[in-house]
A and B are shown apart, each in its own frame.
Chain A
Amino acid sequence: MLSFDNPAVRIDKLTKTFGKHTVLNELSFDIPRGKITTILGFSGAGKSTLLKHILGLMHPTGGKIEVLGKDLSELRPVELREFRQKFGMLFQYAALFDSLSALENVAFPLREFTKLDNSEIVSRCHKLLDSVGIKEITRDNLPSELSGGMRKRVGLARALALSPEIMLYDEPTTGLDPITTHMVNDLIVSTSEQSKDRQMTSIIISHDVRASLRISDFVAFLDRGNIVEYLPASEFANSKNELVQEFVNL
């Protein structure tokens, strides 16, 4: 299993049970800083539960998680809330606030957490929306007036608004057509490259094998609550693990 010095996320014997059902079973692995790491797995493997633990939205039944060197279990709820500002997250269906326009969605975290004046916020939002390729004419549209791909782009711009140290992507290409899927994947890579100077870490939860191998630096495979394979993306397709081979060759 790969291990890294000073990782962005260090997971140590993480266990999560719901009643008698064990979702994560003494899971241990490191996620390196400044790289794109994808966690692959079948539905119900525990990917979303793992993501919620990294965000501190769920508390482990056993084990611990260190994010950017901090043990999440030692943080008080107020500290944990502040700590979450270091994260950005692109949700599966973007999770844009449906009562706010595209521009106001991006402005939302800036209005909540910075003391910038309105003109500065609007100017920053335009820059962010430029960077994800949202045309000016659609920026005042409500999320319901945007296509799935556009919503994802606005969601990405919102997630990047506070310059996060860790960017999480929850199945970013699910439900998109092949061209938009390609575009979103390219956006993930370009976002990571643009943030290389500040070592932004990207963590992707996905079951799109081909895209993961193309855009990731490292790929982990989660099965029944444990990491069964964890390799650099270039070596992942040659894994000897039967389950991984089955998944890759599907």
Chain B
Amino acid sequence: MTTESLKSAPKKNYFYRLIESFGATILESVEGLGSYISFTLNALSWMFRPPYRFRLVFEQLYFVGNKSIFIVTLAGSFTGMVMAYQTYFAFNLINVDSLVGTVTAITLAKELAPVLSGLIVAGRAGAAMTAQIGSMKVTEQIDALEVMGINGVQYLAVPRIIAGTLSLPMLSALYLFIGNIGSYFVGTKFLNIDEAIYLSKLGEFMFLEDIWQGLIKAFFFGFIISTVGTYFGFNVTKGAEGVGKGTNLSVVWGMIMVLISDYFLTSFLIQVL
């Protein structure tokens, strides 16, 4: 072996290891995606089999929906107010400030309400789903269910998925409503936009399809967040440390999947609606 080849050997190894590590990451991601899809299909199949546990669904609706009302209201009102301000100062330059309410409302309806309420629910309820199910897994509570002849996915995941999927459109609608109140308040009271013009432009340019688009998106985001939250819960390993890691992954992946699916849903819904 020449001196030259000896010098180049470590570089080659490093490059090789880099490709190897990149390949391993891709394989791991594909495997993880497959496992998630398989879990979701399994949960969907259990959704339509008796016994139907409505009490558990209502408990989860209360947890995911009711308990998120405060934070969604807070975020919605400030988003609407900030949107009104930012839009006003841009639109004022070209003398179309009468459209502030309309633009804010359409942006909220189509994008901000479903996406931001989705991110809030992913951080709050999605993480809680993973932590609850994960800690049940590491303390053998899920095994205890299975030994009794109760399917863990049906008992724990299905009510959470139904509740998440139904709650998010409602939370998104609340976000939209509160956001518009915030925007109206700032626009008409602080920015001196005429109330009648504000409302008439809103009625003229905003359509029911805009609201539908946001609600349909929220429905899918709710489904994604709750399946991701429960999936990571069932896949927790290695005790308390694993629960923390699973919760972290659940929030990160829940948010990533909301943002990615938002693009595809938008491009699809624009053509359909």
Do these two chains interact?
yes
Q: Which residues of A contact B (CB under 8 A)?
A: 55, 57, 81-85, 87, 89, 91-93, 95-98, 108-109, 112-113
- Chain A residue contacts of B143, Cβ below 8 A: 57, 91, 95
Q: How large is the interface on B (under 10, 10 to 19, 20 to 34, 35 or more residues)?
A: 10 to 19
Q: Do A91 and B148 have beta carbons less than 8 Å apart?
A: no
CB distance from B217 to the nearest CB of A (A): 32
Q: Do B147 and A98 have beta carbons less than 8 Å apart?
A: no
Instruction: Indicate which residue in A84, A95, A98 contacts B149 across the interface (CB closer than 8 Å).
Output: A84
Instruction: Indicate which residue in A81, A83, A95, A113 contacts B144 across the interface (CB closer than 8 Å).
Output: A95
Q: Is B141 an interface residue (CB 8 A)?
A: yes
The complex places the Cα of A173 from the Cα of B59 at a distance, in Å, of 35
- Chain A residue contacts of B151, Cβ below 8 A: 81
Q: Do B144 and A97 have beta carbons less than 8 Å apart?
A: yes
The complex places the Cα of A173 from the Cα of B66 at a distance, in Å, of 43
Q: Which residue of the partner chain B has the closest CB to A97?
A: B141
- Chain B residue contacts of A98, Cβ below 8 A: 135-136, 139, 141
The complex places the Cα of A82 from the Cα of B136 at a distance, in Å, of 23
Q: Which residue of the partner chain A has the closest CB to B146?
A: A57
Q: Is B150 an interface residue (CB 8 A)?
A: yes
Q: Which residue of the partner chain B has the closest CB to A155?
A: B144
Instruction: Indicate which residue in A89, A92, A108, A112 contacts B147 across the interface (CB closer than 8 Å).
Output: A89
The complex places the Cα of A55 from the Cα of B140 at a distance, in Å, of 15
CB distance from A81 to the nearest CB of B (A): 4
- Chain B residue contacts of A84, Cβ below 8 A: 146-149
Interface string of B122-152 (1 = CB under 8 A from A): 0000000000000110011101101111110
- Chain B residue contacts of A83, Cβ below 8 A: 149
Give 13 pairs: A residue, B residue, CB < 8 Å, sorted on A.
A57-B143, A57-B146, A81-B151, A82-B149, A83-B149, A85-B148, A89-B144, A91-B144, A93-B140, A95-B143, A96-B141, A98-B139, A113-B149
